[in-house]
Amino acid sequence: MAAGVGTIIEWYDYGLYGIVAGLVIAPLFFPAATGTVGLLATFATFAVGFIARPIGGIVLGALADRVGRRPVLMLSIVLIGVPTVLIGALPTYAVIGVWAPILLVVLRLAQGFGAGAELAGAITLLNESATRRRKGFYASFAMATGLVGMIVATLLYTAITASVSPEAFLSWGWRLPFLLSAVLTVVAIMLRRRMDESPEFARVQIERDAGRAPEARANPLVAVWHSFLASPRNWFAGFLIPAGLNGTAYVMLTFGIGYLTNSVGLPRSQSLVVNLSMLVSGSVICVLWGQVCDRIGAKRVMYIGIVGAVALAFPYFAVLETGNLALIIVTSVVMFAFAWSAGSAGHTVLMPALFKAEYRTSGLFSSREIHSALIAGPAPFLAAALVVALDGRPWLVAALVIVTQLLTACALVLGRPFVSREELDQTPALRGVAVRD
């Protein structure tokens, strides 16, 4: 619960911003940029939050290898929660002019810095704390709870829009979900104060105190460089493994809602129903895939997800074009189950195994968050630009989804996780991985 509540807040923030981006942020903070230009400006601000993620990943990842996973997860929740509340109190362009989008960008950068340690930190803590025979099941909650944050954001947004007039929502109603994140932040801090350090990091500290393991690097850049030199191919594998699940998720959940509303012509309420269907089913199916990982291996689960996503990419966008709500919901749920849920469950097992415990967070945080800045964050912006390039047709976006999934497949071939014979024998989720001490 303590690990998962932070990812709830992180994804609550990003899910909420994704929902209101094209509907509220553009007219209130970028009023001079109308139509497609305004939408592109809004998604560019969404991507800005990812620019700071690798910086946060590098700095906080090195810190987590020095002082522990728990203190860094305490810090990250504050860095995400406080800026989210401040966005809800931020004056608009009509009140303070150009300072409105500038301050919005600053707050997005602060959120991104904290998020650089949040999800990767939760993955690390849960993976290191889980029993070996159920590692896939427990580790999958790091990703599944993230969707809970997006579900809460969507339900709050839906409830508020149904309760107030469109004018009132644009004036003040949109601020309420951001301000209410203060409650989630306080709950997260209280839970994490009672959280135990991970057993694997505790073992590393004992080894360091006894002089049997090297001390962690104080300089974050040196720490990341050390994690890279330990296995360059593993670092690059860590960079590419999340490509499919992240690229697809941000296309389907962030770009998708704007596309369904603005291009396909679905009412806003129906577009939100589509998103909510993916989120609810995706969180449950992610945990189910985690259990499958504990039977057949996380690597095999990820390959199943890749094959399903590639096969469904073009049919998925063809169904969106029909405007048939029931058909769109069913296809979206199935696509999301393969393209996001399977990859999410599998990578929570494989990513930590790419790096040894003494430098794990330096390697995992940096590789994953540099990926977020270069691939995941720009995905909605790139998808919107590709649609513009084809005069409103989505086929290049389908190709983008396929490319991100194939990048993940390449990473699974490239990576050589550090797995001993004992770990392989005792950890069913590692089946399909070669032994490497």
Q: What is the pLDDT of residues 26-53, one digit of tens each?
A: 777 776 655 555 556 666 666 677 788 8
Please state, as a whole number, how many other Cβ atoms lie within 10 Å of the Cβ of residue 345.
Answer: 33
Which pLDDT score is estimated for 212? Answer: 84
Please state, as a whole number, how many other Cβ atoms lie within 10 Å of the Cβ of residue 153.
Answer: 27
**What phi and psi, each to the nearest 5 degrees, are found at residue 259?**
-65, -45
Listed residue (357, 334, 371) closest to 237, CA to CA: 371
272 CB-near residues (< 8 Å, 6+ apart): 19, 154, 157, 158, 257
Higher pLDDT, 222 or 13: 222
How open is the CA angle 186-187-188, to the nearest 5 degrees? Answer: 90
**What phi and psi, each to the nearest 5 degrees, are found at residue 419?**
-130, 125
Please state, as a whole number, how many other Cβ atoms lie within 10 Å of the Cβ of residue 85.
Answer: 19
Contact 408, 301 (CB under 8 A): no
Mean pLDDT of 340-347: 95
Give the 3-state secondary structure of residue 373. helix
Mean pLDDT of 305-324: 92
Give the 3-state secondary structure of residue 103. helix
Report the distance separating Cα 156 and Cα 164, nearest Å.
12
Tokens standing for residue 398: 């389908």
Tokens standing for residue 228: 């890279």
Which of 75-79, 219-223, 384-388 is predicted least confidently? 384-388
Mean pLDDT of 147-168: 86
pLDDT of 213 over the 90 cut: no
pLDDT of 19 over the 80 cut: no
Whether domain 2-430 has CATH 3.90.550.10: the reply is: no
Listed residue (89, 264, 103) closest to 172, CA to CA: 89
Report the distance separating Cα 244 and Cα 260, nearest Å.
22
Which pLDDT score is estimated for 4? Answer: 84
Please state, as a whole number, how many other Cβ atoms lie within 10 Å of the Cβ of residue 168.
Answer: 13
- Among 24-28, 128-132, 299-303, the range with the most confident prediction by mean pLDDT is 299-303
Q: State the chain's mean pLDDT as an integer.
A: 87
**What phi and psi, each to the nearest 5 degrees, are found at residue 436?**
-155, 105
Mean pLDDT of 71-79: 92
Question: For the segment 423-432, what is each residue's pLDDT rounded down to a tens digit?
Answer: 888 889 998 8
Report the distance separating Cα 417 and Cα 237, nearest Å.
10
Alpha-helix runs per DSSP H in 90-240: 93-96, 99-129, 135-139, 141-163, 166-168, 175-193, 199-209, 220-230, 232-240
Which pLDDT score is estimated for 56? Answer: 92
Which pLDDT score is estimated for 97? Answer: 82
In the numeric block, the tokens 């602060």 are attached to: 110
Which pLDDT score is estimated for 1? Answer: 82
Question: For the segment 390-431, what is each residue's pLDDT rounded down to a tens digit?
Answer: 776 778 888 888 999 999 999 999 999 998 888 888 889 998
pLDDT of 149 over the 70 cut: yes
Listed residue (155, 141, 394) closest to 277, CA to CA: 155
Report the distance separating Cα 246 and Cα 377, nearest Å.
9
**Angle, helix 379-389 to helix 35-67, in steps of 10 degrees:** 160
Which pLDDT score is estimated for 264? Answer: 81
Higher pLDDT, 311 or 43: 311
In the numeric block, the tokens 């040894």 are attached to: 356
Please state, as a whole number, how many other Cβ atoms lie within 10 Å of the Cβ of residue 236.
Answer: 17
Residue burial 241-272, b: 16+ Cβ < 10 Å; e: rest:
bbbbbbbbbbbbbbbbbbbbbbebebebebbb
Which pLDDT score is estimated for 37? Answer: 56
Mean pLDDT of 226-232: 93
Which of 43-47, 134-138, 144-148 is predicted least confidently? 43-47
Burial of 277 by CB count in 10 Å (0-12 exposed, 13-18 middle, 19+ buried)?
middle
Which 8-state DSSP code applies to residue 267? Answer: -
Which pLDDT score is estimated for 32? Answer: 62
Higher pLDDT, 43 or 356: 356
Higher pLDDT, 373 or 316: 316
Query: What percentage of the chain exceeds 70 in pLDDT?
Result: 94
Contact 141, 126 (CB under 8 A): yes
Report the distance separating Cα 425 and Cα 384, nearest Å.
46
Which 8-state DSSP code applies to residue 98? Answer: T
Which pLDDT score is estimated for 355? Answer: 94
State which amino acid sits at residue 358: E
Report the distance separating Cα 188 and Cα 181, nearest Å.
11
332 CB-near residues (< 8 Å, 6+ apart): 252, 256, 274, 277, 278, 316
Which of 285-289, 317-321, 356-360 is predicted least confidently? 317-321
Each domain of the chain, given as residue ranges in start order, spans 2-430
Which pLDDT score is estimated for 363? Answer: 94
